[in-house]
Structure 1
Amino acid sequence: MENMNYERITDNVFFSFEEYMDEAGWTVAQTTSKTIDNFTGFINLSPFITYSYFVRLGIESLNRGQIADYLLEKLSNIDEVISNLENPELDLLKADVLVYKQLLEKKEYEIVETSLDTKYRVDYILSIKPEDWFNT
């Protein structure tokens, strides 16, 4: 299994938005969902990695003026979540949480309502145990 650090998570999200939105013309919600799908095996390795992806997805989304409703919901308790995390790179996540909150406070975004199918798919992906993903 490859090493997953905060810089790599940041790159994965950035390049996903570049590929799917900028090059393929997808929406923010489609890009967010596809990124979660593409990195399922890594996203579920630890709560730190999960929420690092969510925060980076939130920042990229808000920078583009939209955010998927399910992502906004997943990040609604981010302060409580990060207070229970331990990781050598936790300060990087905390710094990005502040950026995410500042972007939210600007209220310069649209909340994109997604289908129940999309929400169920994301919840399903998040329920897959890493050992099940890497042993398939």
Structure 2
Amino acid sequence: MSEISYLEAKELTLEDYEDFIEDEGFSPSQAIAATFEDSVLMMKKSHKVYVSVMINLSILSLKENFIPDYLLERQENLSKLEGLNEEEQSAYNWDINALNQLLSNQNFEIDKDEEYRLRVNMLLG
């Protein structure tokens, strides 16, 4: 099986999130956590997938005027992706710009949950 591309990881993240909202009736906060947990195995196998999921979950939450502490803490440590094809690079650049714009607006609350943050650290190893 070939490696999942940045765009495929983004698409899966957005689809998962929407499914949790629409099909399961989750709140945005619950859907972010559920999507994160669904993505852990893929994120552990590929740095590209990890970056895609973390950026896109952050964008989704910031659009709802919150961000979980475990996502916010990891933004500074996301290394720049290299070696992307033109289409992936364009999407990645757009996502980074959107994320930075949302973060700079500071129109969000930080959801703090120490127990869940520890769980995230354990899941990501």
Q: TM-score, normalised by structure 2?
A: 0.81
The equivalent position to 2:83 in structure 1, one of 81, 87, 92, is 87
Cα distance change on mapping 1:63 and 1:120 into 2, 3 Å:
same
Unaligned runs of 5+ in 1: 128-136
Matches of 1:22 and 1:104, distance apart in 2 = 26
SS of the residue 2:45 aligns to:
coil
Paired residue for 2:63? 63
CA contact (8 A) 2:10 2:53 kept: yes
SS of the residue 2:36 aligns to:
helix
SS of the residue 2:67 aligns to:
strand
> Whose RCO is larger (CA < 8 A, sep 6+)?
1
Paired residue for 1:126? 124
Alignment pair present for 1:108 and 2:107: yes
For the aligned residue pairs, the C-alpha RMSD in angstroms reads 2.1
CA contact (8 A) 2:68 2:110 kept: yes
Question: How many equivalent residue pairs?
Answer: 122
Shift of 1:2: 5.5
CA contact (8 A) 1:48 1:87 kept: no
Matches of 1:75 and 1:50, distance apart in 2 = 11
Cα distance change on mapping 1:47 and 1:28 into 2, 3 Å:
same
CA contact (8 A) 1:43 1:49 kept: yes
Q: Which amino acid aligns with 1:11?
A: E
CA contact (8 A) 1:21 1:27 kept: yes
Q: Which deviates more, 21-30 or 48-57?
A: 21-30
Q: Percent identity?
A: 25
Shift of 1:101: 0.6
Q: TM-score, normalised by structure 1?
A: 0.76
Unaligned runs of 5+ in 2: none
1:59-83: per-residue Cα shift (whole Å, max 9, x none)? Answer: 11111221111101111333xx11x
Shift of 1:3: 4.0
CA contact (8 A) 1:28 1:67 kept: no
Matches of 2:58 and 2:83, distance apart in 1 = 20
